[in-house]
Every structure is written in structure tokens, then in C-alpha cells.
């Protein structure tokens, strides 16, 4: 079966957030509001993608960079469509765009108990980093 992958726009927000809400292991916060996602897409044009089965969004990836390193967020594929290389194709699209921007390394965060996500990334050739700690602070 053929699926279409295209750049994500803010018009994709409603079906994307619904997919994220029903994706196990996905962490959502205020940073996933419509306004925040719109700002992210504007700051990182042509980096994020959706996969469609006809008009239905069945996969997403948010991607951007800070000029040095790329970052991937919210790789999600509808449970009904998993195992069809959709996630791999979405990642390849985003990494290709990072490469065009001369970004040579990409990072991502996976919640520790997200077995599905951790399995996907390790099986896809990504290396889990040891010796790093993530610190966060709310500033609002």
C-alpha cells in the first residue's frame, strides 16, 4: 500500500494531537498547544512531516535544529499502521532536511518506560547515551 508523506503544517494540528494522545509512551504538555506547535513549525520550516493514508494522518514527526544539533519529537504512527516502515520513512525525511542544513548530529528524548519507542530507536541504529542527565526548569 502506498502512503503519502508531506511537510507538516498547522492545518495538521488537530489530527496530529489526537494521534499523539492515543500513542502509548507519548509525553504531552503545554508545549504541544496549537500556538506552540505553530511557532515550532515556523522556526523549523520544512523539517516536520506527516504520513497520510488518503486524507487521514497516520504518522507524524516533529523535527528542528538549533544551528548545531537536530532534535526529533513526536514520532508517532497509528497502531493500525505499524510495521510498515512508516516511522522509518518519516525519520529519513527529517534527517535528510537536517543534512541539507549541514546539521551532522540529531538527538531525541524517549521516556524510560516507553518500551515501544526505546525498541524502535535502538533497532533503527540510534545509540542510547550514557552519562548524561536531563535537567528541566519551568520558567513560567
Q: Is the pLDDT of residue 94 over 80?
A: yes
Domain containing 79: what range?
4-123
Mean pLDDT of 86-108: 97
Q: Is residue 73 part of a domain?
A: yes
Domain count across the chain: 1
pTM: 0.93
Does the residue 133 lie in any domain? no
Do the domain assignments include residue 92?
Answer: yes
Residue 33 three-state SS: coil
Distance from the Cα of residue 112 to its chain's centroid: 17
The pLDDT value recorded for residue 134 is 84
* Residue 57 included in any domain: yes
Half-sphere exposure of 49 (CA within 13 A, CB side): 24
Is the pLDDT at 1 greater than 90? The verdict is no
In a domain, 129, yes or no: no
Judged against a pLDDT cut of 90, whether residue 2 lies above it is answered with no
Residue 117 lies inside a defined structural domain of this protein? yes
Handedness of CA 97, 98, 100, 105 (dihedral sign): negative
pLDDT digits (tens, 9 = 90+) for 45-66: 999 999 999 999 999 999 999 9
Residue 132, domain member (yes or no): no
Domain of residue 57, CATH code: 3.40.630.30
The answer to whether position 68 is within a domain reads: yes
At 4, list the grid cell. 503519502
* 60, β-bridge pairs: 50, 76
Residue 119 has pLDDT above 80, yes or no: yes
Of 4, 16, 9, 13, the closest CA to residue 76 belongs to 16
Q: With 90 as the cut, is the pLDDT of residue 42 above it?
A: yes
In Å, what is the CA distance from 114 to each residue of 11, 13, 26, 102, 119? 28, 23, 8, 31, 8
**Residue 36 neighbours by CB under 8 Å, 6+ apart:** 30
Amino acid at each position: 500500500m502506498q502512503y503519502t508523506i508531506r511537510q507538516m503544517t498547522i492545518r495538521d494540528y488537530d489530527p496530529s494531537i489526537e494521534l499523539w494522545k492515543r500513542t502509548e509512551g507519548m509525553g504531552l504538555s503545554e508545549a504541544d498547544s496549537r500556538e506552540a506547535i505553530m511557532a515550532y513549525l515556523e522556526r523549523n520550516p520544512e523539517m516536520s512531516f506527516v504520513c497520510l493514508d488518503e486524507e487521514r494522518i497516520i504518522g507524524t514527526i516533529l523535527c528542528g535544529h538549533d544551528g548545531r544539533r537536530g532534535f526529533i519529537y513526536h514520532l508517532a504512527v497509528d497502531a493500525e499502521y505499524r510495521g510498515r516502515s512508516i516511522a522509518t520513512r518519516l525519520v529519513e525525511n527529517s534527517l535528510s532536511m537536517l543534512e541539507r542544513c549541514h546539521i551532522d548530529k540529531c538527538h531525541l528524548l524517549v521516556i524510560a518506560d516507553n518500551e515501544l519507542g526505546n525498541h524502535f530507536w535502538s533497532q533503527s541504529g540510534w545509540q542510547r547515551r550514557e552519562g548524561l542527565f536531563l535537567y528541566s526548569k519551568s520558567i513560567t
